[in-house]
Amino acid sequence: MFVEATASGAERMQKAISIIEKKAGALAPLCALSSGTAYIIQFVDFPTDQMRVEEMASTI
């Protein structure tokens, strides 16, 4: 799933997770994401710069 989250640091991570949760809810409305759900998020600063930073986060 591709999302666009413009911010910096932790705010960027939280915005990306929020967008992912909203899109996932729209795609599968009967499936709930649990608090232990993990995400692998790849931040790319430019479309031509592939796999620049990979981070894993879990919901709070």
Please report the pLDDT score of residue 17 as a whole number.
Answer: 79
Please report the pLDDT score of residue 57 as a whole number.
Answer: 44
Question: What is the span of the domain harbouring residue 30?
Answer: 9-58
The number of domains in the chain is 1
Question: Could you report the per-residue pLDDT of 2-47, keeping only the tens digit for each?
Answer: 666 666 677 777 887 788 778 777 877 776 666 666 666 666 665 5
Q: What contacts 3, CB < 8 A, 6 or more positions away?
A: 16, 19, 20, 23
Does a structural domain hold residue 53?
yes
Quote the Cα angle for 1-4-16, to 5°.
Answer: 75
Cα distance between the two ends of the chain: 21
Q: Find residue 39's DSSP bridge partners.
A: 57
Q: What is the pTM of this model?
A: 0.48
Does a structural domain hold residue 51?
yes
Q: Is the per-residue pLDDT at 59 higher than 50? A: no
Does a structural domain hold residue 1?
no
In the chain, the amino acid numbered 44 is V
Handedness of CA 18, 22, 27, 30 (dihedral sign): positive
